[in-house]
Each structure stands twice: as C-alpha cells, then as structure tokens.
Amino acid sequence: MRHLLSAGDLSLAEITEICDLAEEMSAVQSRPVKKLPALRGRTVVNLFFEDSTRTRSSFEIAGKWLSADVINVSAKGSSVSKGESLRDTVMTVAAMGVDALVIRHMASGAPWQVTNWIGAHVLNAGDGTHEHPTQALLDAFTMRRHFRGLDGGDLAGRTVAIVGDITHSRVARSNVLLLQTLGAKVVLVAPPTLLPSGVDTWPVSVSTDLDAVLPAADAVMMLRVQRERMSGGYFPTAREYTIGYGLTRDRLATLRPGVPICHPGPMNRGLEISAEAADAASSLVLDQVAAGVAVRMAVLYQLLGGADEMPLARVREVVA
C-alpha cells in the first residue's frame, strides 16, 4: 500500500489486516509507557486546511506512539494564509525530507492531486465532501469489536443504518465503500433534500423513513448536520429535522437491545442525536475516538514500512 486515499481502494484482506493490527496497537493505550520503536527516524507531517480535533489529534498521537517525528501544519498559521498555493505548500514540505503527509483539505480530490506532486506517502484525512477513509476504518473496527464481543461474529450480513446529512458527508461515502467490502448491508436514511444526486447507483438501500428502518438495524450511525456546508434551506427548522430524523429518546426505545450507536463527531446534541442516545450504554462514540488512535497507528505502520524493521509478531511481543 503506497497511499491511503479512498476506502474503495482497500481489499477485504487489507481491511482485515489493518483491523487485526489495530487490535494489537490498541493494547499500547493501556500501557504506562505508550511507545513502540517501529517508526523511529520517520517524519510525518499533518497538513490540515480545515479545523479538526479528533482526526488531527489521533494522527499526532498515533505517530508519536510509534516513535515517528510528527509536525503539525495548519493553513491558518502557514504561508497558505499569505496566498501560497496547495502545490507550492506540499512541495515545500516534501522538500524537507518528510516520509508521509497526512492531508485534510476542503477541495474534493486534493489528496489525489498531491500524489502527483510529491514522492512521500499521502494519507487522506478528509477531502471536501468526498471521502474520509481512516474514519471508515475506525468505524468498522469499533463495530467489528462490538459484535465479536457480543456474539463472536463480524460485520458480514449485518444491517448498518447511516442516518442524516448524507449529501455533505465524506464519512458516509467512505463507510458505504468499506462496509460493502466487509459484506454489510447499508441503509441510508435522510430527508430527500439531504440525499446526494446519483445515490440510486450506490450499493445501498435508501429510505426517507427513519422509524421504519430502526427496528431492523443491527447498528446505527448518526451523522452530523453540517450546517457550515449548507448554503440553502435543506430542511425547514432544526426542530423539524429532529422530529423527522433525530435519534430521540423515543426512537432509542425502538432499537433492539444492544444495537450499537455510532457517531463520527462532533455531535450536535439535541439535533441529530439526543443526550440519552449519545450517552446510552450501547453508544460506541467514545470507543470510536479511542479506536481512531489504534487504527491510525496501524495505517502509519503499514504505509511507512514498519513491518520491514518490526514484524507484527515482534509488535505483539513488545505490546505484551
């Protein structure tokens, strides 16, 4: 694997390998000293043109726990604010000898373009409304872990309902691709105004009736309403959206016992998800955050050749 740009680029074997490796990496989080020497001497730059808390922090922690040198660059504090182009920025950073570039950009397709300009490994940390592959990986990892602890199974054959602002969600697009590869059945639920053009060609079922979908769901993923990307009236009022598509206290009661609730964050409590649902015993929201570090450790390890100097068997010994 040279780059990680799209969840659709990953085969079932590659997804399974990353998730299995993330299981080993997750053990590091409970150790007093959270360090592995796997990427010592490697340099990773996190280049973020959009605000981020979870993704940027978890990539930084993941790199540092693998002993890589991690540098954070944001558009607001760089030459981008002076008018420098994306091409000049990434080529300048690459000229300093970095090994990997983690990039988040408001333009869909930006990470693909970056791979034509530099020789370093490129990881897509979110591009516009297009994709967010590591988020889909950590979502799948979290749900897989939940189901294995519940009945020993995985995601194959499970029905996952993804609910909310599908039009503006890069998380939804990456999850559709990844969950399809894993054999899950995906149902997208949203008002017609928040369903993207061409969704009928996606490998999913589509519904505008949340109440009809929830009782049959094996897992529910609520999406943030991305009001910062909305230039028009996608729904009349916030209250009406919650009434039609929010995971309210009453809807929480319609879920089968133990059905996991996911949310990629940040959450708009009281809009797309109620406090009762966000804090329910079956909520995996904080598990997703924790999984973000382990999964991104696994991805960095795979991309930067950690396996050459520290095979997985050795990782298991060190972690143990």
132 among the known binding-site residues? yes
227 among the known binding-site residues? no
CATH number of 133-287: 3.40.50.1370
159 among the known binding-site residues? no
The upper half-sphere exposure of residue 82, i.e. CA atoms within 13 Å in the direction of its Cβ, equals 6
192 among the known binding-site residues? no
Task: Report the pLDDT value the prediction gives residue 1, as an integer from 0 to 100.
Answer: 84
Task: Report the pLDDT value the prediction gives residue 29, as an integer from 0 to 100.
Answer: 87
Task: Report the pLDDT value the prediction gives residue 314, as an integer from 0 to 100.
Answer: 62
Task: Report the pLDDT value the prediction gives residue 51, as an integer from 0 to 100.
Answer: 86
Task: Report the pLDDT value the prediction gives residue 74, as an integer from 0 to 100.
Answer: 85
CA separation, residue 193 to residues 9, 21, 141, 196, 197 (Å): 29, 39, 31, 8, 10
Pair of tokens at residue 151:
């009945």
170 among the known binding-site residues? yes
Distance CA 113, CA 123 (A): 12
Task: Report the pLDDT value the prediction gives residue 285, as an integer from 0 to 100.
Answer: 97
Distance CA 90, CA 147 (A): 41
288 among the known binding-site residues? no
Q: Which CATH superfamily is domain 7-132+292-319 in?
A: Aspartate/ornithine carbamoyltransferase (3.40.50.1370)
54 among the known binding-site residues? yes
Pair of tokens at residue 210:
């949340």
- The residue ranges of every structural domain in the chain are 7-132+292-319, 133-287
Closest residue by Cα to residue 63 from 307, 293, 316, 287: 293
Distance CA 280, CA 257 (A): 11
249 among the known binding-site residues? no
Closest residue by Cα to residue 120 from 91, 88, 98, 95: 98
pLDDT, averaged in runs of 10, over the chain (320 residues): 96 96 92 91 95 94 97 80 86 95 96 97 96 98 95 94 95 98 98 93 97 98 78 74 95 96 94 96 97 97 76 63
